């Protein structure tokens, strides 16, 4: 688990706190998404992904390139690393599930091909 850095928002202004709040929200949502993926709760994962997209959209609107303190940069970096870690775990689980689903679909396709071939032979 990442160690968090104390952050004093007064140094960087209210916009900095708003930006970090958005990153913290992303951490919470992606953590919940990771848990949903681990539990194979795909409906919840989809719902949470929509929430995540909304937060990310808001973040892209408020993010700026203003210079900020080292403490702000360190905290922002920690939050981004947590989001990326959650994302990697979500992708790992969803890619595994997707591969399972493709095997089922491919198996059904092969069964249909065999059925079609045997029907053609029996005519």
Q: Quick one: tokens of 12? A: 């960087």
pLDDT value, residue 98: 87
Taken in order of first residue, the domains within the chain and their CATH numbers are 13-96 (1.20.58.380)
pLDDT value, residue 99: 87
H/E stretch holding 20 reads helix 14-38
Give 103's DSSP letter: H
What pTM did the predictor assign?
A: 0.76
Calpha distance 90→10 (Å, rounded): 35
Give per-residue pLDDT as tens, 47-88: 999 999 999 999 999 999 889 999 999 999 999 999 999 999
Residue among 56, 66, 61 at smallest CA distance from 25: 56
> Model confidence at 4, in pLDDT bands (50, 70, 90)?
low
Give per-residue pLDDT as tens, 88-107: 999 999 999 888 888 777 77
Contact, 74 vs 17, CB < 8 A?
A: no
Give 30's DSSP letter: H
What are the two backbone dihedrals, phi and then psi, of residue 99, each rounded to the nearest 5 degrees?
-65, -40
> Model confidence at 1, in pLDDT bands (50, 70, 90)?
very low
């Amino acid at each position: 688990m990442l160690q968090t850095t104390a952050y004093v928002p007064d140094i960087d202004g209210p916009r900095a706190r708003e930006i970090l709040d958005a990153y913290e929200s992303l951490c919470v949502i992606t953590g919940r998404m990771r848990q949903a993926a681990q539990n194979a709760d795909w409906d919840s994962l989809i719902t949470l992904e929509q929430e995540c997209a909304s937060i990310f959209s808001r973040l892209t609107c408020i993010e700026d390139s203003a210079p900020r303190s080292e403490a702000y940069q360190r905290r922002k970096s920690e939050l981004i690393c947590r989001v990326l870690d959650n994302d990697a775990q979500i992708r790992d689980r969803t890619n595994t599930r997707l591969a399972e689903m493709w095997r089922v679909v491919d198996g059904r396709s092969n069964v249909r091909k065999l059925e079609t071939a045997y029907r053609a032979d029996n005519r």
